[in-house]
Amino acid sequence: MPGTLTSKRHRVEDVADPIEFCFQQGWTDGLPVVPPTAERVGALLEAARLDPKQEIGFVAHRAVSVTAEKVAINAVMAGCRPEYMPVVVAAVEGIVDPRWSYHGPGTSTAGAAVLMIVNGPIARALDINAGDNLFGPGWRANLTIGRAVRLVMRNVCGSIPGTLDRGTLGHPGKLSYVIAENEADSPWTPLHVERGFRAEQSTVTVMAAEAPHQFYNQLSSGAEGVLTTLCDDMRISGNVMGQPHYALVIAGEHMRTIAGDGWDKKRIRQFVWENTQNSHAHLKRTQRMTGPLQPGDETKLRPLVATPDDILVVAAGGRAGAFSGYIPGWASAKSSQAVTKEVKR
């Protein structure tokens, strides 16, 4: 059993009042929350084998210690089942990691969300969606795990819209932004194995991210045709000025077409990196780069990310439909790195 809970307790007499009480305290993301009773919080802590006082991480810019108890409280409010708690904890470990650099994506006017990509046996055990309607509603695990992380950001780290969270536009992924990789159907090496973990380990990769961009190609019968369409879309979308990462989400039809040509993830990354570069002349003409046009600007190229390895390739999405997508990372190359953490059970 977990140790003694130390958070302040509130007594609400009317059974209908706890949800309204949470709204009044400013603890919600705009949707109703599950009242975090001691019994519910204790069940999540027990499922993750965590003591309430255990520190999950420390956000240096905010001078905030994120404890297991605070994570569990917000996971209860988000609607998480106890077995989801280890995934939530791993994701929180990711966003408090100095490489993710919480202060930037947590406060920027660019409105970054936390994209979470789950790999390994835990994704299948918890039915985290990797298929149809990938970024949409319908899966409790996807929606509540992501929501729990965002509530931790709000209620523990202070990322409240209009105060610390200064997103000009934001996007719906700031409510919840969780997917799993479709390892069962994928012909490729799973993301977490590419990032140094064993296939039998479960992980969460967190990336500060813009909204997903969808592209369509039903005409091409080969890898190069599909990826040429993708690159043309990527090259002129997003911020196109040296972002830290892009995530490519390749769904069923495109996955089979690309793999059928013998292309692996490494070759996909290299092709996309080479074919999404913009000339300095184009960037200056479109007011993305400062300075007057110089001799050589027409041929001098700037990549979207520093290296091909900064492109994350994920097999996920429905089996039917000639659609896939890409997700631009937030801000500049030195601002926030994608981080992968093991889910400990």
Instruction: Kindly state whether residue 196 falls inside one of the protein's structural domains.
Output: no
Asked if 341 and 317 touch (Cβ cutoff 8 Å), the reply is no
Instruction: Kindly state whether residue 45 falls inside one of the protein's structural domains.
Output: no
Residue 333 is predicted with a pLDDT of: 56
Least confident of 106-110, 175-179, 240-244, 290-294: 240-244
Instruction: Kindly state whether residue 250 falls inside one of the protein's structural domains.
Output: yes
What is the secondary structure of 230-281 as a DSSP string?
Answer: HHHHHHTSS--S--S-EEEEE-HHHHHHHHHTT--HHHHHHHHHHHT-EEHH
What is the secondary structure of 155-204 as a DSSP string?
Answer: HTT---BTTTB--SS--GGGT--EEE--TTT--S--HHHHTT--TTS-EE
Q: How confident is the model at residue 14 (pLDDT cuts 50, 70, 90)?
A: low
d(CA 96, CA 238): 25
| Secondary element (H or E) of residue 116 | strand 113-119
pLDDT at 331 over 90: no
φ and ψ at residue 65, rounded to 5 degrees: -95, 125
**Could you tell me the residue range of the domain that residue 243 belongs to?**
211-329
Tell me, yes or no, if the pTM score tops 0.85.
Answer: yes
pLDDT tens for each residue of 197-210: 999 999 999 999 99
Instruction: Kindly state whether residue 289 falls inside one of the protein's structural domains.
Output: yes
Residue 177 is predicted with a pLDDT of: 98
| Residue recorded with tokens 């369409």 | 229
Instruction: Kindly state whether residue 285 falls inside one of the protein's structural domains.
Output: yes
Instruction: Kindly state whether residue 324 falls inside one of the protein's structural domains.
Output: yes
**Two tokens, residue 55:** 């520190």
Instruction: Kindly state whether residue 271 falls inside one of the protein's structural domains.
Output: yes
pLDDT at 30 over 70: yes
C-alpha radius of gyration, the chain, whole number: 21
pLDDT at 240 over 80: no
Instruction: Tell me the one-letter amino acid at 37.
Output: T
Mean pLDDT of 152-168: 93
3-state secondary structure of 312: strand
Q: Which residues contact 24 (CB under 8 A, 6 or more apart)?
A: none
Strand-pair category, 311-315 with 246-250: parallel
User: 3-state SS of the chain: helix, strand, coil percent to 5?
Assistant: 35, 15, 50
Number of structural domains found in the chain: 1
| Residue recorded with tokens 């975090």 | 36
Instruction: Kindly state whether residue 22 falls inside one of the protein's structural domains.
Output: no
